[in-house]
Structures are given as C-alpha cells and as structure tokens.
Amino acid sequence: MDWILPFIFGITLLIGLIFIGLPVAFSLLLVGFLGILIWMGFVPSFAILGFTSIYYTPINFLLLVVPLFVLMAQLLERTGATDVLYQAFWDLFAGVKGALAVATISMGALLGACVGSSAASVATMAHIGLGQMLTRGYRKWLAAGAIAGAGGLAIVIPPSIGAIMYGFVMELPVLDIFAACMIPGLLMALGYCIVIFMLTRFIPDVAPAGQPTRVKVRLRSAVIILPFFGLVLMVMGSILSGIASITESAAFGCLGAFLIALFMGRKEKLSLRNFLGAGRETAISTCYILFIVVGAKVFSKFWSMTGVIEMLGETISSLPLTPVVVLLLINVLVLFFGTILDGVTIILVVLPILGYGLMAMGYNPIHLGVIFLINIEMGLTTPPLGMNLFILGGVGEKYGVGYTETVRGAIPFLLVDATVLLLVIAFPSLALWIPSLLH
C-alpha cells in the first residue's frame, strides 16, 4: 500500500491548488516536483523538472499539430471568413423555422472540424451568432443553447485538440482517434438539428422562420460554403487516406485557411497586422496548452515513479463490479471533472489513470477515447460549472442573455450528448468501424 500516501498527497494538493486559483499548469508542475522531491529526493526531482519536462516534452512531433490547427482557426476568424460562412448558412436555410439555429449547428460542426478547441469555438460563435439570432426574434434560451451545444462539437469532431492530446498521452495513433470520432460527432450534430426542429414544432414562436431567400441567393451561399467543406475534406481526407501525415495535413490546412481568408475574408480585415495577430494569438494558445503538457509530464512522472498509476489501474480493474458499471461510474467522474476543469487538463491528468484501469478490463483504448471526449464535451456544458456556459455567459451579457437562460437552452442538447454517449458505449462499432477500415 506504498502508493496510497503519494496518491492522497498528489490528489489533495493538486485539487487544493487548482481550487484556490493557481494556474492548472503550475499546480501540476509544483505538485509533481514536490512529490518526487519527497519520495525520491532533490536530484531526480530537479532533473525531471528540467530535462524530462521543460526541455524534452515540448519537442514532440505530435505536438506540432497544436499550433498548426490553432493557426488555421485564427486565420479564418481574424479575417472575418467565419462571419461570411455564418451568413452563407443563414441564407441557405432562410425561410425554415429554426434555420439560424440549424445554421449555428452546421457552423459548429464545420468550425469544430477546423478549430479543434471547444472554448474557442463557443466564443467565436457567440460573437457571430448570438446577436444575429436575437435580432431575428429567436428566444434567448434557444439561441444560447444552440451555441453552447454547437461549440461543444469542436472537442469531438476531428481534428480536435482533445483527440490529439488523448493520442499523445495514451501513445495511440491520432489518426485512429480522429477516425473513431467521426460517426459519433456527426450523430451529435444530427441530433442537435432534430432537437431544434422538434422545439420549433412544439413551441411555435421559439424561432421565427424569417423571409425565404431566392434560389439564386441559396446557390451562391452553397458556393460560399464549398471551400470550407473543401478545407475539412482536404485535412481529414489527406490524413485518413494516408497521403500526408497529420502534421503535413495541418500545414496544408493552414495554407487552405490562408487562401480562404484571402479570397473570402472581409476586405477591411485583410491586413498584415491581422495575420500577425493570428500568429500571436496562436502562440498564446499554444503556450498555455504546452505548459499544461509540461506540468502534466512532471505530475505523471511522480505518480508513475511511486507506482500510483499502476496500482490505481489495478484497483479499478479489480473492483467487484461489471465492466459496464465501472465505465458508467467513471463517466460520471469524468463528467464531474469536465464541469470544473479544462478539457486538456482532464485528458492529460485524469484519463491516463482511469483509461489504464478500463483497458485492463478489456476496453479498447480508441473506444474509450471517444467516450471520454463526448463526456468531457458534456462536462463543459453541464450546469452549474460547465466552462462553455461561463464563456457564453460572458459574451451573452452584452445581449441580455443570463446564465439561467443559457443553462435552460443547453439542457436539450445535453440530452442528445447523453444519448450519443450511451449509444457509443452500447455499440462500440459506432466508434471502431471507421478505424477498422483504415487497417
């Protein structure tokens, strides 16, 4: 039972530091360092902090995709190309009840595939979509709910930073995780659209139809959307077909995003200053993500050196419960963590421990990855603490959308998430079918 003390020390100090507001990256770094210092001594702790984590951790080929995907999204957002896309979706679906909410979901699915970060996706869509929906007479709760739901798609629909981090920490091919996320991600997007149509059917004035646009306008909108679909197809297609590595596809994605920004972005936003701004924002996002990775490395070293990870895995797998019950319990735990912690932190710190335990029970790590990503996405929109709700709340204040309305709107979309989660648990082939085709 030598592992109990490091486990209690690590978990209590880490949660304590995070809850008093110390940045997650520094909490992980400090607890990991102190743990190794106490149990192993000063020399190994200082060496692990310096060489293993700060020096060697960031220079990992897989982590190269993080700045590339973030840059891709930044280029589209900073040049106003995302505004153009939103307007195109609105024109395409105009005249249908709930059209703008459906446009938001479609945009979320597409942007999620480009952005890869749930928080960034929610913030972007809240800025673009909330005002548009409210001025067209949408109920506040539906407008907020659609954005909260659609923004969450970014963590599941590939290429997502969450999937990359899961592959990194579990040492799995990211390609397989991307492929596994495709069907569940599309099911979620489809489920959201069905929810919107049902709501508009049963509550008639919840989302007015608006004036239908002419066929010519619709066709033009479809043409505008095409390059964005092309971008997603190019990135995902080149990865899945094996033409290019993930890093190379991400670099091609940046080139595609640059061209879209150049030809479809708003003229007033096409400036060197904005392009440099995209680079600077990318550096900020990459910096905080990689600092969490560096911190998580020290922390995981502490727990692996003291045998905590191995023993926790064994303890989970030897629980006198059926594997499905254990999985469901762990889902509740991840959901709870999802409401208080950032997605990357959960993936880097919590999932390896729980994942190894479940793998010992016979679960496929790719299947688990999809389950966990949906779970984290749910956590981000679960009241009272879901991070996406707060991000949306911050932007929503400007439009008079309160926290209660955001929560009310998010609930139907959460139910869709829960349904897809249960389906993926019950039918693993929903996640594993496409990866099996790749091999």
Contacts with other proteins, residue ranges (CB under 8 A): 17-26, 29-30, 33, 46, 49-51, 54-55, 58-61, 63-64, 67-68, 70-71, 244, 247-248, 250-252, 254-255, 275-284, 286-288, 290-292, 294, 340-342, 344-345, 385, 390
The amino acid sitting at 225 is I
Q: What letter would DSSP give residue 347?
A: I
Least distance between other proteins and beta carbon 268 (Å): 21
Least distance between other proteins and beta carbon 29 (Å): 6
CB nearer to other proteins: pick between 169 and 225:
169
Least distance between other proteins and beta carbon 34 (Å): 10
How far is it, in rounded angstroms, from Cα 115 to Cα 109?
A: 10
Least distance between other proteins and beta carbon 113 (Å): 18
Distances, alpha carbon 392 to alpha carbons 31, 45, 150, 314, 402, in Å: 32, 41, 12, 40, 9
How far is it, in rounded angstroms, from Cα 279 to Cα 107?
A: 23
Least distance between other proteins and beta carbon 407 (Å): 14
* Long-range pairs, 357-360, Cβ under 8 A, ≥24: 357/312, 357/313, 357/314, 357/315, 357/316, 357/317, 357/326, 357/330, 358/316, 358/317, 358/323, 358/326, 358/327, 358/330, 359/313, 360/313, 360/314, 360/316, 360/317
Dihedral sign computed on CA atoms, order 334, 338, 339, 340: positive
Alpha-carbon 50 to chain mean position: 30
How far is it, in rounded angstroms, from Cα 39 to Cα 111?
A: 46
Least distance between other proteins and beta carbon 237 (Å): 16
Least distance between other proteins and beta carbon 55 (Å): 4
Q: What letter would DSSP give residue 61?
A: G
CB nearer to other proteins: pick between 72 and 144:
72
* Rg of the chain taking only CA atoms, in angstroms: 22
Least distance between other proteins and beta carbon 245 (Å): 9
How far is it, in rounded angstroms, from Cα 345 to Cα 402?
A: 28
Q: How many CB atoms lie within 10 A of CB 329?
A: 14
CB nearer to other proteins: pick between 103 and 298:
298
Least distance between other proteins and beta carbon 66 (Å): 8
CB nearer to other proteins: pick between 278 and 416:
278
CB nearer to other proteins: pick between 248 and 310:
248
What backbone phi and psi angles, to 5 degrees, belong to 172?
Answer: -115, 155
Q: What letter would DSSP give residue 129?
A: I
Least distance between other proteins and beta carbon 429 (Å): 35
Tokens encoding 338? 């999802």
CB nearer to other proteins: pick between 54 and 418:
54
Distances, alpha carbon 109 to alpha carbons 118, 146, 189, 364, in Å: 11, 12, 7, 26
How far is it, in rounded angstroms, from Cα 250 to Cα 291?
A: 21
CB nearer to other proteins: pick between 133 and 240:
240
CB 376 within 8 A of CB 422: no
CB nearer to other proteins: pick between 63 and 148:
63
CB 210 within 8 A of CB 136: yes
Dihedral sign computed on CA atoms, order 33, 51, 292, 365: negative
Tokens encoding 247? 């890093």
